[in-house]
Structure 1
Amino acid sequence: LSLLSLIGGAFLPKIAIITIPLGIIYLAIGIGAWQENRKAAAAGMWVFLIAVVMRAASFAVFPFSWGKAAHLLLWGWIAWEYRQALKRWETESDEEADSKPLISIALLLKTPRYLEEAILAQIVQSAWGGNYTEGDDDDRDGFVVGKSPIFMVKCPQGMFLVHNHQTPYFYDIEETAGHFREKRLRHAIQEHQAWIAVDLITPFDTSLPREEYYPLIIRLIYELADEDVMAVFRPETGQINIWADDVLEALLMPQGEDQFNQVTPHPPVIPVSADDPEMIAAVTEAKRRWPEFLQAFQMKKDGDHFSIKAPVTSDGVTEYIWIEVTGLERDYIHGLLGNEPVALEGFHLGSVVEIPVSDLNDWCILSKGADPVGLFTTKAIEAAENRDKCAKEPTDDSTKE
């Protein structure tokens, strides 16, 4: 392209007042094209296109000549080559950008978080050590600049962005939630109101794979997390999990970013249709064999665990949840919630509940050295989950845990 620009410029009118400025322009365009400068290439394309138009217009005023026609074809060809170069460079740039993965961890929050430079600098200092707050800039290990929703953080390892947005993370929440059958994950995606994320922007040691910077990001994410965190998300791979101590421990392990979504911090909550034949049969069997549970409970030993599953309702929301049995009456079961509810207002793991025997859905007896007895609905839930994997159309008639 550089050579073509100079050749094209050689066919300029032999008038000094025109030739000298245009010669400088063509030379600058040629040098820019040699350096693969997009602005120079775009300028070259338009300059030669204008030359083509002007040469074509001259045929309407001056007699036709093969020399002028050759100039027109040459300039048109050069303009075409510049256009092709721009398209090629754009494609190469896109491929290069696509080859760099987004190294990021995001937290989905119940409520927006207040964050400012001074607060974030203290958090960065706690996560990474060093000095980000005291003394002059030259004495610090890095800096924090910006304001919500975007902060830039410089540390000895590289440049990072910290996001603090007061909006949901996902563009189409319902569509995203529809990809997940597990009720807790769906609830976190649907109900989160804000998000925080840490992104790697520029690593200072380019010899390292970009994935090597995940531990640094995770340490900062750990310090940014609080009780409002609902889920943790890895944009690069689409991995997501409920935020819990077990998940955090997995993240902090070597290569934790690859494993954290394989941790199950709570028993999965799977929606099953209320009229599912297998579920109806399982519940019927659990109720038929309820006297076995009553008899075993009267003879329980230390280390034995007796649980039932039943619906618990709060503010119009019902969840089927396991309950650790602490006492039995003829018509009522007393116990403690054995799982963390998904969305039961006022209830949590260990909450005291009283359940009518008529609401019994399933039961389980765990004795030391013996196989579990009960768990009648487990197969029905597994069958429903397998059907959903094929249909990929979750239902919300009721929730089974």
Structure 2
Amino acid sequence: MTMNRRKFLSTGSAIALGALAAPAIARTGFAADTIKIGSLLDTSGLFDAYGKPMDMALRLAVDEINGAGGLVGREVEIISYDTQSDMALYTQYAQQLVRKDKVDVVQGGILSASREAIRPTLRKSKVPYFYNVQYEGGVCDRNIVIDGVTPAQQSEILMPAIINKWGKKIYILAADYNYGQITARWMQKYAQDAGGEVVAVDFFPLDVSDFGSTIAKIQSAAPDIVVSALVGGAHLSFYRQWAAAGMNAKIPMASSTIGVGNEHKVLTPEEGNGIMVAYNYSPELQSPTNLAFLEAWTAKYGDVSAIHEIAVSHYQGVKLWAQAVTNAGTPDRDKMIEAVEGGLSIDGPAGKVSIDPKTHHAILDVHLMEFKDQSLKVIESFSQRPPVDTQAVCDLQANPDDTTQYEIKI
């Protein structure tokens, strides 16, 4: 994929992301004190397939920021800890970042549990926090900025598209925790709005890996479409068992989760081809900003195979923070947050990303895509979708002291 783009990339597309050239020369003009960005990510442990590319994305973004002159005349310094997929380490290292390292911002967290383990510490310490992962929505906290796609942003695109393409009878499978339960409700809402009928919704604990009886139930229900909000390595077994039973040739499938961590590259083309998804990013996007991002990633890491949805969200989260600091003229927390609420926007690899002042969530493009030969082929792009789920419960302009994660009622 990189090779067939190289001629285009050499024509100056790096301008779209900011020059990487001559970082050593740029650094000679930095002030003595650095701006410290704290990073908490699982670069080992159960979730390192998500965390390692996110760490790579953060380091690329900071290289670009420093190579372009830093922020307000100061170099950005990364202070990172490997949380090892351990919630206790998230708590420990968050306290270390704010008390000992005295960072100016924290970027990190993968699971919602990890976000909630550190969010109170960062809020109490008045250290701004950027959480850059697809999640269930509903967090309402002025100290946090969230740029991952939320369930309504996906479902409002995905559900009408699959109903129009494949039929009205839908069978939903979802992980049995808050993300899966909330996402399933949004799927039901948008299916009904589009004239569809949800014939069943089944929830599965994260350690379930045998889906034989579930496949038999689906066969009996005879839906037109199966929609999955399954999560994690054990649930990946469903897609393999579905294909092994020959069902992928009989009933089409869509998902709100598979592919965000490159799971489609673990499945064979025969197992994954034809699955439809709606996400903020695909490496196949032909925009100048994405092509420049791919070129910069290749220059730093050698190839683009590690890039996935939440790595790009993390890269965009770092760039959003940098733009907020630039707009504020300082990394000071209160002034930076005022900049977040004053029309913050960047052009990232996935398109324009703007922050909604009332929720601190992202308004972003959503791309309807299909798996084909382990790639995410873009079918249609939908511009600047607001986080309507979180907007239904959160208004930080009216209630700036709110710190709740709401369970969104639909």
Using structure 1 for the length normalisation, give the TM-score: 0.24
Structure with bigger gyration radius? 1
**Looking at both structures, which has the greater relative contact order when contacts are Cα pairs under 8 Å and sequence separation is at least 6?**
2
